Structure 1
């Protein structure tokens, strides 16, 4: 071999060896955009409600997996959020009301955002993630957990300043638990949620080159239902689709099951239409703010490396069984929207499996390769993100405290079974295959005796399990 040829050959070989010896570049960490809505039920286009306008949440559903049967652990803000963010059921957190901070009972627990913070993610909160009283605590820290975050923002907008202009259809109830609304003048950007979206976008712009866990908590559609007038104008008051009601619906329902007494708080149909339209208007307003976040991710070229989770802390009754708001164990109160979008994952798929908000913590930990180093009571949804119809052997458990007694409910893909005060204050069984509106309580049916027995065992098993 001629010297020059030998030299060139040697150069090529050495170059190949050096290239092979170089370490592959470290895989870039996933970012997480964690979007919470407050008091949002499943009245969304992507969940089959064609009346409510939710184009941006619908757009997100097309980018990921929609969980059709996702459930809260407790249909009240602080107990639900404390459970989701610690990965523990309410019986472990000990949070059943709106005043106690979970750290009083679990001082050493590592929360979901704290896990990311502890693993070199930039952890930031905008708005309501842990509990805030609404509207009273807007602009404050509420029951925040400071060690969960590197940075926090507490926006306060025009909606807070104009509380005195709100129309309260239930004047004996405080604004945060009233059917009250205001179609306000001005722009989205003047509202607390509009400010929240803009603050979140600033964080995306500033931290786009560093792994982040960004939690954005919108206050709407929590009451009072406040949004710019243009969102109210999207809904014709006379065409609001009031939920179906049947005569003597509550004759077979235990007294403990009822939160709204008397039914509809005595409101006439015209007033109920006002309240429901206002609720839908605030859904559409909140949806527009979600759209801003999705647009920012695309503009900043972050979509290909950001996991998006969209959830609500619980569902919401808008007149079903004469009930309003949360704090019941009927389907509309326990059922929540949950959408998870993973870069490169399934798009526009629907999972029919019964899952829980409690499952979000282990899911994000697994997707991002983080070890919680503590027991979590949920189960990672990664298998369902890969195959939304994969085999799944878990039911969903929801509970609520009613005065001095506890109601506990288990939801399978077909049934909901509920016991009040361990059955002493009544039991309920609904067959969602035949009765999706839960009009017929089958708990005393001889034909369903075995189903009741089996589900009673499943209920006890689920609530007796400890981490």
Structure 2
């Protein structure tokens, strides 16, 4: 290991699927700067958000603990200040305790807004508004439009992401005696899908693929997918056909390419430092986006498009370059990556990713995931990923799925009936895991708790109430 402690830079996007990097196999997308990160280090091709929904995923990143440990399984807007008592210091505070100056630029998604996450410097949309007078969002946020391509009126050089990058570059270039730990957290490609010109016309929808669809009995076995479709106005019956999906995908890709340019500026700033090679960079996303695949949208699903994420780790002075690994890794591991690089490892619920790269530690044998939607029927969903197998358990109705990702990477062939012994083995491992975690709501006597099936109704997403009479909006 280098004598001097490395800088550590986390770069994060929101809702970016794992299959959106050109250097890792998607020839239809343009990501030259994310590709630079691929070439700079190690790309993990089996990386997961173990709790694929916004707030739980971000609590996992800042605590190093699984959702079953933090207690955040859905997007509850609950006060999270107690998490340091139950999980230990947040990551930024842990890095400050290790002698790092710390900064956050961008989205953090924790409640209350004034929560102390341990950063010396925190710059989010309030600071952007104070600097520019612009609102962060310039696109429509009405429920019926949130997933449709939208217009972004701010020029790309002065929008929120450009401002974020300006501030982050300043903080990276700051010449201090302390190494830095920074998190730069971009909101795109989270909807609304409103890339700024010219990124809104980079991709011809006719050259993009149609969504992946299996039998609807498989695609919609998890009742949250059709419930979310109704909530977000994205049902097939509502007009979201293959052509519309490709148009939306073109704008989604455009947002990723726009963020890619900003990432290039971050990487330039790191490389301009005399200790650039001794700067560890992690690039990842909080979860993916179904984007029409499996007849679904958004996240909160254990289909690969929702829960598998980009996960790039580079540290030129210490780690190999341009290497691919298929180890099972997760957002839970980021806490250990940062603290291990700082010289004082603390893994919590994660594994030693840097140790596995160096050959000093064993990769994770299996990975667990969990999520639920608050205030709805008992819809707790859990996943076990082991080898090529993925097992999914849905408490609502006690339904189960099994996929062999080696032979069926698109998860079209649900094969639980063909491999009952494999299902029983993974079911038992999940029950043991939940029992060990004290999750008595979901397991009893080392058996998974099941509930009678109930239809889920999430209602419609409407940002502002529609008027009783159209003319009322004019008042």
TM-score (norm 1): 0.83
Distance 1:199 1:142 in 2: 24
Distance 1:251 1:159 in 2: 48
Shift of 1:257: 5.3
Paired residues, number:
420
Shift of 1:243: 2.3
* 1:322 aligned residue: 295
Distance 2:271 2:67 in 1: 37
CA deviation profile, 1:37-86 (whole Å, cap 9, x unmatched)? 11111122133111111111111011111010011121111101101210
Shift of 1:461: 3.1
Q: Tell me whether 1:360 sits opposite 2:334 in the alignment.
A: yes
Q: Tell me whether 1:413 sits opposite 2:387 in the alignment.
A: yes
Q: What SS does the corresponding residue of 1:102 show, helix, strand or coil?
A: coil
* 1:107 aligned residue: 85
Pairing 1:302-341 to 2, within 5 Å after superposition: 302-341=275-314
Change (3 A) 1:159 1:192: farther
* 1:451 aligned residue: 422
Which structure 2 residue ranges, 5 or more long, are not aligned?
439-475
Distance 2:356 2:210 in 1: 34
CA deviation profile, 1:331-362 (whole Å, cap 9, x unmatched)? 11110110011232110001111111101111
Distance 1:182 1:159 in 2: 22
CA contact (8 A) 1:418 1:429 kept: yes
Shift of 1:208: 5.2
CA contact (8 A) 1:94 1:102 kept: no
- RMSD over aligned Cα, in angstroms? 2.6
Shift of 1:450: 1.2
Task: Pick which of 230-239 and 426-435 moved more.
Answer: 230-239
* 1:232 aligned residue: 200
Q: Tell me whether 1:369 sits opposite 2:343 in the alignment.
A: yes
**Equivalent residue for 1:120, pick from 91, 99, 107:** 99
Q: Tell me whether 1:254 sits opposite 2:212 in the alignment.
A: no
* 2:37 aligned residue: 60
Shift of 1:152: 1.1
Distance 1:159 1:323 in 2: 37
Shift of 1:205: 1.9
CA deviation profile, 1:89-131 (whole Å, cap 9, x unmatched)? 1122111224013323543621111111112210111111x31
Change (3 A) 1:252 1:145: closer
Pairing 1:92-241 to 2, within 5 Å after superposition: 92-95=69-72, 96-107=74-85, 109-128=88-107, 130-131=108-109, 143=113, 145-155=115-125, 156=128, 161=135, 163=137, 165-166=139-140, 172-173=143-144, 178-184=146-152, 187-207=155-175, 209-241=177-209
Task: Pick which of 264-273 and 51-60 moved more.
Answer: 264-273
Shift of 1:454: 1.4
Q: What SS does the corresponding residue of 2:157 show, helix, strand or coil?
A: helix
Shift of 1:424: 3.9
* 1:244 aligned residue: 212
Q: Which has the larger Rg?
A: 1
Change (3 A) 1:225 1:142: farther
Q: What SS does the corresponding residue of 2:271 show, helix, strand or coil?
A: helix
Distance 2:320 2:176 in 1: 24
* 1:33 aligned residue: 9
Shift of 1:439: 0.9
Change (3 A) 1:416 1:125: same
Which structure 1 residue ranges, 5 or more long, are not aligned?
1-25, 133-140
Distance 1:285 1:160 in 2: 19
Task: Pick which of 97-106 and 428-437 moved more.
Answer: 97-106
Distance 2:225 2:201 in 1: 33
Distance 1:440 1:219 in 2: 34
Change (3 A) 1:239 1:159: farther
Task: Pick which of 255-264 and 398-407 moved more.
Answer: 255-264
Change (3 A) 1:162 1:462: closer
Pairing 1:250-289 to 2, within 5 Å after superposition: 250=217, 253-256=220-223, 258-259=225-226, 260-261=228-229, 264-265=234-235, 266=238, 267-289=240-262
Q: Tell me whether 1:79 sits opposite 2:56 in the alignment.
A: yes
Change (3 A) 1:284 1:463: farther
Distance 2:114 2:10 in 1: 16
Distance 1:308 1:319 in 2: 31
Q: What SS does the corresponding residue of 1:70 show, helix, strand or coil?
A: strand
CA contact (8 A) 1:253 1:441 kept: no
CA contact (8 A) 2:388 2:405 kept: yes
CA contact (8 A) 1:351 1:384 kept: no
